[in-house]
Amino acid sequence: MKFLLLSRRLSQSTVLLIGLGLLFTGSLWGQPVPAKGHPDSSGWKNLFEPDLSNATMNPGGWVMEKGELSAKNGETIWTKESYANFVLDLEFKVSKEANSGVFLRSSDIKNVLAALEIQVHESTDGTKYGMVGAIYDAKPPSKDMAKPVGEWNRFTITCQDSRISIVFNGEKVIDADLNDWAEARKNPDGTPNKFSKPLKDYARKGPIGFQGLHGKAAAPVWYRNLKIKELN
């Protein structure tokens, strides 16, 4: 009887400790719980310095004015630093017919298809796989959360090993495991994509980038409050 009581108390203690671990670390067995809302990122590291000294780009390709980052041509701007596991928090605003994207963990900054792209778009490229908030050509968002042209939107993008999650204007719209993309040029739902190798084989560490003026209209997009927090 004493043994049964001791076992029960130990079990209750174990559950309590696991619960406290989830509360304070947001993780279970080392894996973070995907964010359900936007964080307070005010104390996080700036992704780019105000003078863009930690960016890889040609002079004049991008500018930071009054805290807003925007492109002057079709060049992509990249971080000099590489990132593996992180939470990236940012705001963006599009103009009519604008087309841009957030590139994650690039293995080759000269080839945009060497990075995952989170689509930033005024509407879509004609398919749900090109709508704003999609993992481009791979997974559409679960719902359309885009605000009208001229209003600021917010992304919180979490990359942890093979897991990618996106909170878009307060709603989680992507929760994906790249290991599910096991074939080249094919998505898990059977639809085709442009990628010459499976997404499960994409780099798990690399620079973060933002696509410049793109598409027929070459319409501007603005970014601000670009903050990043690296994860263990």
pLDDT digits (tens, 9 = 90+) for 55-76: 999 999 999 999 999 999 999 9
Confidence of residue 161 (pLDDT cuts 50, 70, 90): very high
The structure's pTM equals: 0.84
pLDDT digits (tens, 9 = 90+) for 214-232: 877 789 999 999 999 999 8
Query: Do 208 and 125 share a structural domain?
Result: yes
User: Does 31 score more than 70 pLDDT?
Assistant: no
d(CA 227, CA 48): 8
* CATH number of the CATH domain containing 154: 2.60.120.560
228 or 13, higher pLDDT = 228
Query: Do 128 and 21 share a structural domain?
Result: no
Mean of the per-residue pLDDT values of the chain: 87
Q: Which phi and psi (to 5°) does residue 230 adopt?
A: -80, 145
The answer to whether the CB of 55 falls within 8 A of the CB of 48 is yes
* Domain limits for position 6: 1-33
The answer to whether the CB of 131 falls within 8 A of the CB of 123 is yes
User: Does 3 score more than 50 pLDDT?
Assistant: no
Query: Do 48 and 114 share a structural domain?
Result: yes
Query: Do 203 and 107 share a structural domain?
Result: yes
pLDDT digits (tens, 9 = 90+) for 80-124: 999 999 999 999 999 999 999 999 999 999 999 999 999 999 877
Query: Do 74 and 4 share a structural domain?
Result: no
Query: Do 104 and 22 share a structural domain?
Result: no
Confidence of residue 36 (pLDDT cuts 50, 70, 90): low
User: What pLDDT, on a 0 to 100 scale, did the predictor assign at position 34?
Assistant: 45
Residue 16's alpha-carbon distances to 8, 31, 141, in angstroms, are: 12, 18, 35
83 or 25, higher pLDDT = 83
Q: How many domains does the chain have?
A: 2
The answer to whether the CB of 122 falls within 8 A of the CB of 97 is yes
